[in-house]
Amino acid sequence: MVTEKKDIVVLGAGVIGLTTALKIQETGRYNVTIIAEILPSDPKNIKYASQWAGAHHVSFTKRDHFQHPLDKETFEEMWRLSQNEASACFLQLPQTEFFTGEREQPSSLEHMPNFRHLTTDSEEVIGIPGAVHGEAFTTVTIDVPSYLNYLLSRFLGSGGRIVRGSVQHISQIAESGAHAFLPPAERFSSDGFPRPQKKPKAPAAIVVCVGLGARFLGGVEDADVYPIRGQTVLINAPWIRWGKTLSNLAAMEWTYVIPRRTGIVILGGTLEPNDWNATPRPETTRDIIERNLKFAPEIIPAHLRKDAEKPTLDDVLPLVVEEGCGFRPGRKGGLRLQAGSIQAPNTDRTIPVVYNYGHAGAGYISSFGSARVSLELLEKALQEWS
């Protein structure tokens, strides 16, 4: 017996919406439509965090936190992709994390390939100003523009659909699905005048992956969602094939070098909760470069320095491609991975709603794990409500 595929609408086309939509579409049991205001191929936009990420896979959730296995699961999938069909989107590289305070043990990174602790008296730690401990391992960095487009093309290739639209309230979708956002030829019949509307169809379920947009989307309006501003400097430095971070968590200061496969290197960074300034601040750009020159002077090889002994701001400036600034979608209480429901207006139908947002600085890191949980929540809710 052939069962009809159920229509699912996913709101949002950041790394979370795309990965979740892909996971659902690839089961072969659903017709998934993504509706999103900003799409992966659009110019960078402050309403779309995924374009601003470094991004590397370095899990910082505690080992007993529910998100930790999701991070591990995602790493395994990204490692596999980096060796296979999506190798052009990833760089496998040695990574070192340095800490200015004692690190909770056991480390949340012990599962990473080639993991080793670096003690206070190890040569690597002694060379880093302020560091007392370190962890070295192998990981991947993600070339986010090509990776988002890879996810999108894989989703489209498996039969999914994406339409642009700014949704004001999830009840719009609960009643009429993607209808209001479809091209006119699909919304209206060609015969008669005025052209009659084609009949809108409610979806079987809605999945909400709108990141920071969850604070504003009608029917969700999650007041716990807030921006964690992150400013970065992108330089062209293809000789850098290692990553490193210096975390001073007491001061909320985070200095990092994230090279992408393309040769672009992201220097970071900042962690600024509830800071809504969407423009890079020049004094922060300068501070990021100066911090990185102290932490990782080897970003400028000797032959590119004016003074071979010590690199300066002037050595870095000709390499700068862009100053970046994005809002990580933070959430008090952490990520929301949950099922609920909405009453479809003017009907007695209850439509399941799955929430998958609020990943803060770990959207890439836990993307596949949280997409898998979303699929499980979706299938359970569909059984309960239909």
150 scored as a contact of ligand FAD (CB under 6 A): no
What is the rounded distance in angstroms from the CA atom of residue 223 to the CA atom of residue 332? 9
Confirm or deny that 369 is annotated as ligand binding.
no
Choice between 136 and 210, CB closer to ligand FAD:
210
What is the rounded distance in angstroms from the CA atom of residue 351 to the CA atom of residue 341? 5
Q: Measuring CA to CA, which residue among 198, 157, 208, 217 is closest to residue 34?
A: 208
Residues 6+ positions from 366 with CB-CB distance below 8 Å:
59, 61, 67, 70, 71, 74, 335, 359
What is the rounded distance in angstroms from the CA atom of residue 364 to the CA atom of residue 82? 14
213 scored as a contact of ligand FAD (CB under 6 A): yes
3-state secondary structure of 21: helix
The footprint of ligand FAD on residues 55-74 (CB under 6 A) is: 55-56
How many residues bind ligand FAD (CB under 6 A)? The answer is 42
243 scored as a contact of ligand FAD (CB under 6 A): no
Tell me phi and psi for residue 191, to 5 degrees: -95, 150
Stretch that binds ligand FAD, among 9-17, 115-123, 126-134, 152-160 (CB under 6 A): 9-17
In 100-184, beta strands by DSSP E: 116-118, 133-142, 161-164
Residue 104 CB, nearest approach to ligand FAD (Å): 20
Stretch that binds ligand FAD, among 104-112, 297-305, 323-331, 378-386 (CB under 6 A): 323-331
Choice between 311 and 361, CB closer to ligand FAD:
361
Task: Name the residue with tokens 């229509």.
Answer: 7
Among 72, 179, 328, 336, binds ligand FAD (CB under 6 A): 328
Question: What are the beta bridge partners of residue 273?
Answer: 228
Residue 7 CB, nearest approach to ligand FAD (Å): 17
Choice between 49 and 315, CB closer to ligand FAD:
49
Start-to-end C-alpha separation, the chain: 19
Burial of 309: CB neighbours in 10 Å, binned 0-12, 13-18, 19+: exposed
Confirm or deny that 357 is annotated as ligand binding.
no
363 scored as a contact of ligand FAD (CB under 6 A): yes
Structure tokens at 312: 């300066």
3-state secondary structure of 303: helix
What is the rounded distance in angstroms from the CA atom of residue 157 to the CA atom of residue 138? 31
Helix (H) or strand (E) holding 75: helix 67-83
Separation of CA 1 from chain center: 39
Window 259-298: contact mask with ligand FAD (x via CB under 6 A): ----------x-----------------------------
Confirm or deny that 163 is annotated as ligand binding.
no
Choice between 178 and 315, CB closer to ligand FAD:
178
Residue 63 CB, nearest approach to ligand FAD (Å): 18
181 scored as a contact of ligand FAD (CB under 6 A): no
Among 210, 351, 371, 382, binds ligand FAD (CB under 6 A): 210
Question: Residue ranges for the binding site?
Answer: 167, 256, 328, 361
- Write out the residues near ligand FAD by the rule CB under 6 A: 11-17, 35-38, 47-50, 52-56, 165-167, 209-213, 217, 230, 232, 269, 326, 328-329, 357, 359, 361-365
